[in-house]
Amino acid sequence: MKTMKLGSSTLEVPVLAVGCMRIDSLDKAEAERFVQAALEEGANFFDHADIYGAGACEEIFADAIHMNNDIREKIILQSKCGIRKGTFDFSKSHILESVDGILKRLKTDYLDILLLHRPDALVEPEEVAEAFDLLESSGKVRHFGVSNQNPLQIQLLKKSVKQPLVANQLQLSITNANMISNGINVNMVNDAALNRDGSVLDYCRLNDITIQPWSPFQYGFFEGVFLGSEKFPELNLVIDRIANKYEVSNTTIAIAWILRHPARMQPVIGSMNIGRLKDCCKASEIELTREEWYEIYRAAGNVLP
């Protein structure tokens, strides 16, 4: 597995993150096999959130990996907080309480990265800063980031937060590529030109913030997987042809398409299928040509001006 620097930090991470949102769908033996398979592939970056399985996913993961001090030093743990039932909460008290719960469930003393999960309309950056300072000084969190935030929301946090924000989790796939499309269709009047996110892709590149694409195989908002879908016949024909050329699966090509972008993104893989995970990991060894990248982009229905 190839590695990369996470944002502006010195933390060396795999180019893929293993998302653990669905690990509660596995029984104990399956969870152990899955985690071990990820480690064997060099995929030792595990992404969590306190709301995944209402905390159960973190507990299941800790048991599956047989967490101890030796294991802990060989993996990279990221979790997220800020979503509560019916509300978002970036208050100092909630962040601190959430992290304590996360650490207890993961059976560890620290997180490598903590992300704020979804924007809180009532955020007070000063409170976030106080929480981050306490978490950093106590050694409970080493790096910080955000999820689903646009440039001005990040700038608002940075007004008070002194720690670098090293990552931003955003939805991105071949069929959900607006952050790329609006940069291609500048000064056009078509729908692809609509800038819905404040040029977050360019902002993150300019500020050394690693984008972590989530749902890299989904179209719409969890409407389904585009691979093999009859809704995307041309896209699948192109992906399958290119997959055949490289002697890999269509899954591998879908991830290779994201990795080919020079922003050096770190896709979050949510599948609990070991074979699918291995196919995703193969993408780190493939670099699509410029022509292949654009052919896949157009086949998904994306337009060039």
Q: How many CA atoms lie within 13 A of 79 on its CB side?
A: 29
Q: Letter for the amino acid at 297?
A: Y
Distance, CA of 10 to CA of 32 (rounded, Å): 30
Q: What are 43's two structure tokens?
A: 């995929």
Distance, CA of 34 to CA of 152 (rounded, Å): 38
Instruction: Specify the pLDDT at position 173.
Output: 97
Q: What are 95's two structure tokens?
A: 């962040």
Residues 6+ apart with CB under 8 A from 196: 178, 182
Whether 68 contacts 98, CB under 8 Å: no
Instruction: Specify the pLDDT at position 191.
Output: 87
Distance, CA of 182 to CA of 272 (rounded, Å): 33
Measured at the CA of 10, the angle between CA 7 and CA 11, to 5 degrees, comes to: 80
Domain ranges of the chain: 3-232+263-272
Global pTM value = 0.96
User: What order of strands is seen across the sheet that includes strand 268-269?
Assistant: 210-214, 165-171, 141-147, 111-117, 76-81, 45-47, 17-19, 268-269
User: What CATH class does 3-232+263-272 carry?
Assistant: alpha beta
For the range 63-67, what are the long-range contacts, defined as Cβ-Cβ under 8 Å and sequence gap of 24 or more?
Answer: 63/28, 63/31, 64/23, 64/28, 64/31, 64/32, 64/34, 64/35, 65/32, 65/35, 66/32, 67/106, 67/107, 67/108
Whether 15 contacts 1, CB under 8 Å: yes
Residues 6+ apart with CB under 8 A from 151: 198, 199, 200, 203
Tens digit of pLDDT at every position of the chain (305 positions): 999 999 999 999 999 999 999 999 999 999 999 999 999 999 999 999 999 999 999 999 999 999 999 999 999 999 999 999 899 999 999 999 999 999 999 999 999 999 999 999 999 999 999 999 999 999 999 999 999 999 999 999 999 999 999 999 999 999 999 999 999 999 888 888 899 999 999 999 999 999 999 999 999 887 899 999 999 999 999 999 999 999 999 999 999 999 999 999 999 999 999 999 999 999 999 999 999 999 999 999 998 99
Question: Diameter of the chain by CA atoms?
Answer: 56
Instruction: Specify the pLDDT at position 189.
Output: 87
